[in-house]
Amino acid sequence: MGYRAGDNLALCDRCGAEFHRSEMRKEWTGLLVCIKRCWEPKHPQLNVRGKKDKQSVRDARPEPDSAFGTTTMSTTATDGSTTISIASVAEIYNGRSVGVTLNDGIVQWSFAVSDPSGSTVSLNEGVRGQVDAGNVVRVASNAGDTFLNLTDAQRRANL
């Protein structure tokens, strides 16, 4: 290492070797390193920023819990049927809201138009699809609970 005017000697922070300052460079880590052996450019992956992800579920609806009593269908009901046979008619009476789970998973809300006869419940409108035995039937647990069918809501909104 010869003398160079204005070019002092310095030690590489990585390898410890002695170099003229002109042969060294400050790295992105803040270390003063030699250009020949130790200098590394900052890797582009270190600058990647994550995109903000919308974690919420659109139109999320929690599963009904204790707000509903549940029972099951005891026989199959066909499309348009206004009577259903269920395993338990407890808490069902004239005017009580009843939600029938169709085979496609949609719950169709209706209400009983009379007190049950045995295990048969008469509904104000026919089911809008096939309902197999074993499908869940929900019963509103509070006497004042009423539920609108989608078609009723659409009629009120003049859609």
Structure tokens at 135: 């499908």
Within this chain, do residues 83 and 143 fall inside the same structural domain, yes or no? yes
Judged by average pLDDT, the poorest of 78-82, 118-122, 138-142 is: 138-142
Q: Which of 144, 141, 142, 146 is nearest to 97 (CA)?
A: 146
Within this chain, do residues 86 and 140 fall inside the same structural domain, yes or no? yes
Within this chain, do residues 94 and 138 fall inside the same structural domain, yes or no? yes
pLDDT per residue as tens digits for the range 89-117: 888 888 888 999 999 989 899 889 999 98
Element at 9 (helix H, strand E): strand 9-11
* Within-domain flag for 3: no
User: What is the residue range of 82's domain?
Assistant: 68-147
Within this chain, do residues 75 and 131 fall inside the same structural domain, yes or no? yes
- As a whole number of angstroms, the distance between CA 17 and CA 40 comes to 16
Estimate the share of the chain in helix, then strand, then coil, as percent rounded to the nearest 5. Answer: 10, 30, 65
Domain count, the chain: 2
Taking residues 127-140, report their average pLDDT.
Answer: 91
pLDDT per residue as tens digits for the range 34-64: 999 999 999 999 999 888 888 888 887 766 5
- As a whole number of angstroms, the distance between CA 71 and CA 86 comes to 7
- The pLDDT confidence band at residue 6, using thresholds 50, 70 and 90, is confident
pLDDT per residue as tens digits for the range 114-125: 999 899 999 999
- As a whole number of angstroms, the distance between CA 27 and CA 83 comes to 79
Contact 17, 34 (CB under 8 A): yes
* Within-domain flag for 136: yes
Structure tokens at 139: 């019963």
Within this chain, do residues 30 and 83 fall inside the same structural domain, yes or no? no
pTM of the model: 0.50
